[in-house]
Amino acid sequence: MTTIATRLRIADWNEIPVSEFDDGSKLTRATVALADGADGLEAGRFESVMYYRSDGTSSYVNVMHLTATLEGRAGSFVLSGEGAFDGTTASGTSTIVPGSGTGGLIGIRATIGSSSTHADYPFMPLILDYDLD
Please tell me the predicted confidence (pLDDT) of residue 38.
Answer: 86
Domain ranges of the chain: 2-131
Give strand pairing partners of 58: 52, 85
d(CA 52, CA 84): 10
What top-level class would CATH report for the domain 2-131? mainly beta
How confident is the model at residue 66, as a pLDDT?
97
Q: Please, is 87 exposed, middle or buried when counting C-beta atoms within 10 Å of its C-beta (0-12, 13-18, 19+)?
A: exposed
pLDDT value of residue 32: 97
d(CA 60, CA 64): 13
Q: Which residues of the chain have pLDDT under 50?
A: none
- Count how many residues are written for the chain: 133
Q: What is the pLDDT of residue 18?
A: 97
